Amino acid sequence: MNKQGTVEGAANTESGSRVFVYEVVGLRQNEETDQTNYQIRNSGSVFIRVPYNRMNQEMRRITRLGGKIVSIQPASALQQFNGKTSLGIPNIEGNGQATPVNAPAEQQLTKKDQKGKTMTQAKGKKDAHADVPVNTYRPNAPFIGKCISNDPLVNEGGIGIVQHIKFDLSGSNLKYIEGQSIGIIPPGVDKNGKPEKLRLYSIASTRHGDDVDDKTVSLCVRQLEYKHPETGETVYGVCSTHLCFLEPGAEVKITGPVGKEMLLPSDPDAKVIMMATGTGIAPMRAYLWRMFKDAERAANPEYQFNGFAWLIFGVPTTPNILYKEELEEMQAKYPDNFRLTYAISREQKNPQGGRMYIQDRVAEHADELWQLIKEEKTHTYICGLRGMEDGIDAALTAAAAKEGVTWSDYQKEIKKAGRWHVETY
C-alpha cells in the first residue's frame, strides 16, 4: 500500500514534474554516499536535484547522512541552456532518482537568483541537542578499539547470524548517547583496490555501556547475505561478516559517533512508542536499558523513567527475537510502564490469514496508538526495514480519519515538533 501523500502527489502531474535543487553542507562519506556518482567534499556545498515526489525521502536521507540543507531552489528558476543549468547541473534523469552534483566553490548559489528572486531557505529548527557529541573520530583518524566479546543472538532454529558485539573504548575520547551510531571501517581494500569505506551501525548500548563503566560500546549486527542477481551465488556483506566473526581481542577501527535523529526526550514522564524489525532493535535496547535496568537507573539519578514505553518488534521466528530474555525480564518487572508486542511473521497470522508483519500489529492496535501519538509527551521511533513504513502509515491514516484528521498532514506536524523519529534502510 502507498502512503496517502504519495498517491496524491502522483495524481498531481504539475507537482510531480517539478524539480528542486537542494544546497547541502556537511554530508559525510560513508557506504551509502560511496555508491553515488559524486564526491563528498570536506567543506563547501553539494547540490542535489530532487523531483517533487521524492522531496521528503531525500530530506530524510540527507539528515541521516549528517547533512544540513542550506537552501531549496526550484530548478526552473535557474537559467537553462543546452540541457544544463547555469550551475552546470544536468537535467534530472528519467529514472526519477536524485542526481547529486558538486558545483565549484565560485559557482555556489547565492541568496538571490539572477532575476533577484529570494531563494527559499530551509527553516532549520533550533538544535535542541547542540551539546551531543558528534564525529569525535573521523575516517582518516579512527579510534582503534578492541573486541571484548562477540555473542550470538539468534537461538537454535532461527534464521541467519546476528551477533551482540562489545568493544573496549578505554583510552579514547569517544562519548555517545542513546540513539546514535558509530562507523566501523573493515580491513582490506574494495573491488577498486581502495581502502574499505566505513559502515554505520546503530549503537545497542547506553552511554554507560553494557558494564555501566563508561568504557564500552555495543552493536547488534546481522551478517548481510543475499543472492547475486546474475550469477545466483551467495554474497556476504564485507563489514558485517568481518564483525560477526570477530574474535575477542581483535582490533577494530571505530569512527563517530553520529546522529541526532533518534535521541530520546529528556522528560522522564514521556511516552515512547518503538517499532522495530530485526537489528532495528539496537537503539530500542539502549532506550529500554536507560529506562529500566537497575544499574543504569542507579547511574542516572537525574533520569528516572516514570513514563510509558511500548515496543512492537517484528521478527521471522521465535528464535529470532533478539534480546528476548532481557525484554521479557523488563516487562515483568515494570508491567505498568513497559508493554511488549511481537509480530512473528512465519509463526503468526494476520486477520487476512497471511503472515503477521509489524505493520499488521500496528493496524491491530491503530486506534490505541493514534490516541497515544496525539499526546504531546509521546515520541515515536521506527527503526529497521524501510518496507514497513507504508503499512504503518496506512494503519494510522485509517485511525486518524475516524476523527477527521489527515494523517500525512499530522505526521508532518509531529516531525516538525521532533516527536516522530525514523531510521530505516
* Residue 44 exposure: Cα atoms within 13 Å on the Cβ side: 15
- The two beta strands, 120-121 and 199-202, are unpaired
Output the CA angle 20-22-27, nearest 5 degrees. 150
Which residues are the active-site residues? 201-202, 383, 423, 425
* Residue 198 exposure: Cα atoms within 13 Å on the Cβ side: 25
Cα gap 384→382, rounded to integer Å: 7
Cα gap 228→236, rounded to integer Å: 10
Grid cell of 182 as nine digits: 558509530
Question: Helix, strand, coil: what percent of the chain each, to 5?
Answer: 25, 30, 45
Give the C-alpha distances (Å, rounded to integers) separating 137 from 72, 239, 248, 399: 31, 18, 22, 44
* Owner of C-alpha cell 555508491: 35
- Do residues 23 and 41 lie in contact, with contact meaning Cβ atoms separated by under 8 Å? no
Determine whether 102 is exposed, middle or buried from the number of CB atoms within 10 Å of its CB (0-12, 13-18, 19+): middle
Cα gap 143→171, rounded to integer Å: 9
Sequence letter at residue 80? Q
Cα gap 35→57, rounded to integer Å: 17
Grid cell of 360 as nine digits: 499488521
Sheet of 199-202, strands arranged across: 199-202, 181-185, 251-258, 143-152, 162-168, 216-222
Q: 332 — phi, psi (to 5°)?
A: -65, -35
- Do residues 382 and 392 lie in contact, with contact meaning Cβ atoms separated by under 8 Å? yes
* Owner of C-alpha cell 559502515: 199
- The two beta strands, 181-185 and 251-258, are antiparallel
Output the CA angle 169-174-189, nearest 5 degrees. 75
* Owner of C-alpha cell 543546452: 82
Q: 315 — phi, psi (to 5°)?
A: -140, 160
